[in-house]
Amino acid sequence: MKNLKYTLIHQDRDARLGQIEINGYKIETPCFMPVGTQATVKFLDYRDIKDINASLILGNTYHLWLRPGEDIVEKAGGIASFMHYDGPILTDSGGYQVFSLADRRNINEDGVTFKSHLDGTTLFMSPEDSIHIQEKLGSDIAMSFDECIPYPSSYDYVKDSTLRTLRWAKRGLDAHSKADQALFGIVQGGEYADLREYCAKELVKMDFDGYAIGGTSVGEDKQTHYKMIDDTIKFLPVDKPRYEMGIGAVNDILTAIEKGIDMFDCVLPTRIARHGTLMTSKGRINIKKSIYKDDFSPLDEECDCETCQNYTKAYLNHLFRANEGLGNRLLSIHNLRFLIRIVEGARHAIKEDRFLEYKKDIISRYHFDQRGF
């Protein structure tokens, strides 16, 4: 560890402008990470990732463990080499699958037994396994193995899970030996303030390279979501990165930035793009609607992405109606670039001490619905 350096450049109230340096890469924060679950951001190649100005992408340990397997990725020279990507990569730990595959897994002190979603094979992952897999994947930043706790859950359940996550964090930390790979701890504790505080303080004692807030955006209301951040962030060190896992709605991202979060990831922008739903400066639209069949205007006149600079709504409508894969690529490019532009704007606003005004302007004039897109 200790190959990661975080520099706090400027602060506007609690919102932070910073820089992460790792393995020769410099990552401006706040930043949004596209999700490349299986060593690919769906429908995009490495040139697209560069063109949308993504500074960091995320890969999924569980899915890469199943296929092609960590040994194959290691033989290829690591995940970045495997996918022909020249940039930093963060891998999650498999902890989200403990939540998302709840009907196919069993948790005990040793780790988690999964039934493969591919063929039903019985699989077992311990905290040490998660770390060793991530080391073989060769990511720049690895995550501790944890349980992403469902909402709502009883106090007793959350307490037992959080204490186990802390024990797993220590085991993973002890197992981690890759000098050029940073390791982040993940704060759990559900909606319970005392458990969030205890988990954060115990992880900070272990001295991870950065800290994530986990277990948010798992079905809770907005008020509870934002309280989870408040209950956690005040116990995290100011000189290390802060990462909220799994958020992609604009209002959630801007609120988290306001509270002092530096990093975000979510499948939302690419997932909704594959269904024809787009985030635009005029609000959310569904490109499959018939009103766009003869609309020859750009998708979003304020956007600088390849899609908006070169293609009309009519053409994009045609691609989706004809079930052409190019539509998935072009809309995914737009949605990702849209979110990255929002975060770029946030960085500029923090630097100029006008972040709250920026947030208010974005949310008021872009007409997002309650989901944030």
What is the overall mean pLDDT for the chain? 96
pLDDT of 373 strictly over 80? no
Instruction: Name the more confident of 111 and 102.
Output: 111
pLDDT of 372 strictly over 90? no
Q: What is the mean pLDDT of residues 234-246?
A: 98
The residue assigned the tokens 């998302």 is: 100
> Tens digits of per-residue pLDDT, 140-150?
999 999 999 99
Q: What angle do CA 10, 343, 364 make, to 5 degrees?
A: 110
Strands 242-244 and 210-213: parallel
pLDDT for residue 365: 79
Q: Can the peptide bond before residue 68 be classed as cis, meaning omega within 30 degrees of 0?
A: yes
> Which amino acid is located at 109 in the chain?
E
Both structure tokens of 132: 């060793």
Q: pTM above 0.85? A: yes
pLDDT for residue 288: 97
Q: What angle do CA 200, 202, 204 make, to 5 degrees?
A: 70
> Tens digits of per-residue pLDDT, 9-67?
999 999 999 999 999 999 999 999 999 999 999 999 999 999 999 999 999 999 999 99
pLDDT of 306 strictly over 70? yes
Which of 27-41, 334-348, 354-368 shows the lowest per-residue confidence on average (mean pLDDT)? Answer: 354-368
Q: What is the mean pLDDT of residues 83-95?
A: 96
pLDDT of 1 strictly over 60? no
Q: Is the dihedral of CA 197, 203, 207, 212 positive or negative?
A: negative
The residues annotated with a catalytic role in the active site are 92, 265
Both structure tokens of 167: 């024990």
pLDDT of 2 strictly over 90? no
Contact 142, 93 (CB under 8 A): yes
Both structure tokens of 96: 């989200």
Both structure tokens of 319: 């691609």
Q: CA 304 to CA 292: how far, in whole Å?
A: 20
Q: Which of 282, 263, 288, 274 is nearest to 338 (CA)?
A: 282
pLDDT for residue 366: 76
pLDDT of 327 strictly over 90? yes
The residue assigned the tokens 């930093």 is: 88
User: What DSSP line would sit under 91-131, residue for residue?
Assistant: E--SHHHHHHTGGGEEE-SS-EEEE-TTT--EEEE-HHHHH
Domains of the chain by range and CATH? 4-266 (3.20.20.105), 273-365 (no CATH)
To the nearest whole percent, how much of the chain has pLDDT over 90? Answer: 94
- Interacting residues of 96 by C-beta distance below 8 A, sequence separation 6+: 60, 62, 148, 245, 246
Q: CA 200 to CA 193: how far, in whole Å?
A: 11
Q: CA 223 to CA 243: how far, in whole Å?
A: 19
pLDDT for residue 98: 86
Q: How confident is the model at residue 121 (pLDDT cuts 50, 70, 90)?
A: very high
Q: Which helix (H) or strand (E) holds 32?
A: strand 31-34
pLDDT of 367 strictly over 90? no
pLDDT for residue 100: 92
Which of 78-92, 103-117, 246-260, 359-373 shows the lowest per-residue confidence on average (mean pLDDT)? Answer: 359-373
